[in-house]
Amino acid sequence: MKLGRISAVAGVAAATLIGSAASPAMAATAWTRTAHYERWTGFNALERGQGVATDGTYFYYAGPGGMVKATAAGDSETASSIAPIPWDLSGTYGSDHIGDVEYYGGYVIAPVEDGGKGYQHPLLALYSAGDLSYTGRYVHLPLAQMPGGVPWVAVDAAAGLVYTSPWDHDAAQGTDKLVAYRLDDLLNLPSGSTLPVARTVKLSQPLSRIQGAAMWQGRLYASVDDKAKSVYSVDPASGRVAYEFHQDVEPGDEVQGIAAWDFGPSGGQLHIVNVGSGWKSIFLYLQHYTRNG
């Protein structure tokens, strides 16, 4: 995630509410927003404002102010970390930012950037899902593939792959590929290794400002902070991109990370973090979208 995204969250102000968003109607698509959503302000928002993942029981959040683990039902916080980036990474590489996280096999996988150093050290770091403690394990991603940092990470467990994509600074040009690594390499190569690229996937159309992505039913769903605040799906085998829906947000809001889990029709399958900026306040909220039929 880049400076525009960081500054949007950094101004977050006070109190926590849950309710229904006032926003433009969604276009008629196969997806609708559920009635329920979570909303935070103050420090609670700073801890959650970049990424989200889930294991079906808990949501795992990352933000400029730390990391949080909370129950999916009732949003009861069970663990937190105020300064999750360890000195091993911040002192050595200048790591200063965590993007959209992923959950797999008892780990929270965090994409870690060094924006203050010009995005020269894209990393993936592993945290214990139990208490969000840093495991001491991290890997480098090849800089040639990730020249603008690493804004998100997604796991395709069925294929044994981990996906990222480069961040594009030119919104008109967009990102035209996915980069795939072997999940086994992420978990077992010596800490500090550079992950070898398993393959790259050429997208059928470029996507600008992908803030987060998650696998669901064999497709990669991307939360895109374009003008329409879109969600696209990608076939990771062919690279075919399909428009899914625009998010039910205000035009000035900033869409962030995305998680995928089927909680049923009332709970939705796609769960997306957004930073809202109303007339009097800046806040954070998590919305849920359910597929019709």
What is the rounded CA–CA span in Å between residue 272 and residue 7?
A: 19
- Give me the percent of the chain exceeding a pLDDT of 70: 86
Looking at per-residue pLDDT, the higher value among 154 and 279 belongs to: 154
pLDDT, one tens digit per residue, over 222-235 is: 999 998 999 999 99
**Mean pLDDT throughout 21-30?**
46
Q: What is the pLDDT of residue 196?
A: 98
Burial of 144 (0-12, 13-18, 19+ CB in 10 A): exposed
- Binned at pLDDT 50, 70 and 90, residue 251 comes out as confident
- Binned at pLDDT 50, 70 and 90, residue 171 comes out as low
**Mean pLDDT throughout 202-215?**
94
> How would you label 29-45 residue by residue, b for 16+ Cβ within 10 Å and e otherwise?
eebbbbeebbbbbeebb
- Binned at pLDDT 50, 70 and 90, residue 65 comes out as confident
**Mean pLDDT throughout 22-43?**
73
- Binned at pLDDT 50, 70 and 90, residue 6 comes out as very low
257: which 2 tokens?
């990370």
pLDDT, one tens digit per residue, over 77-108 is: 999 999 999 999 999 999 999 999 999 999 99
Looking at per-residue pLDDT, the higher value among 80 and 282 belongs to: 80
What is the rounded CA–CA span in Å between residue 290 and residue 34?
A: 7
Q: Are 130 and 106 in contact (CB under 8 A)?
A: yes
Q: Are 70 and 58 in contact (CB under 8 A)?
A: yes
Looking at per-residue pLDDT, the higher value among 8 and 40 belongs to: 40
- Binned at pLDDT 50, 70 and 90, residue 19 comes out as very low
Q: What is the DSSP letter of 180?
A: E
| Whether the predicted pLDDT of 15 surpasses 80 | no
Q: What is the pLDDT of residue 276?
A: 87
Q: What is the pLDDT of residue 173?
A: 67
State the sign of the Cα–Cα–Cα–Cα dihedral 260, 261, 266, 271.
negative
